[in-house]
Structure 1
């Protein structure tokens, strides 16, 4: 059994690659679009797909489940489209026509879901300070309340380190709690993705 970083190649998957290569490009593209729009293939979808193919039930199941499996595995990773295409062609033995369509659909969905990765920024550093502001809105004259304000400074740059910028956030206690909860939620999602990959 040959193992890539993002998918395990076995005899059954290689059989599926042969079926994928034999499937007309339009049908393959339609299957990918169904998968990316709904995430599932219904019985009606299977019947429609098989009208043009005339595959046995086992072959049809192998074809559709394998495309779904490859797509889901590819969706769990971040890699360059060129690398994905090379893996599809060299390791899975998909022909160039099918791998190009797969990579185009995968790239379009990734951009839709995550935005243009070329414009993303990486976090280079975080600095913080705590300030106490005086607040005297509804208190008796002469009495002041100290209100803690956290100041977070985020240093960011693009992935090629050509442009850098700093963003400063001023947060009260409620704002800090919201940021903490959001970061905790992000960490939980990352942990669940890492558990699926292993």
Structure 2
């Protein structure tokens, strides 16, 4: 495979992965403008690529509307997410990476490792079912077991639940939450909301913290 072909394939894989991930924890499909923001690309570039995905039988789209994956596109997305999330877990478990450091290196490695190496990595880790942020790792056959959870910002008050997933979109937010002891499996007690739509007050290991809207919309607790 030439460098240009390999790069083109990697771009296709990245697109279907982002399209799938957008609806993994909520139901609204992604639009081309949202896809452009997520990928950091111009809207015109994304429009042309969406047309290519449709021509390849990987996506469906309507003018000025949502972009959705076909069954073939979904299968490719799940294969890439298995790669990405296994590699993130490997970097944390075997190389001492922090959970806020793994994304960029996993983005590179997911396109490079062979299937044989990937499955060896999975076996060496005990075939994990979630990555360091709580996102499910698809099985080799594409099966996904997603934990049942409630978004922190939608939790009733009072409420107590263990953290089952934290969005990894913002490394700075991961660092912020880690500094407050909020990570996977930690029990969080939702205590109150500050007046006039203010921050949520949570208690972790006996210590209270205020969490703003961005943090509260990035944490899922066991239902």
Do both proteins adopt the same fold according to a TM-score greater than 0.5, normalized to the shorter chain?
Answer: no
TM-score (norm 1): 0.26
TM-score (norm 2): 0.24
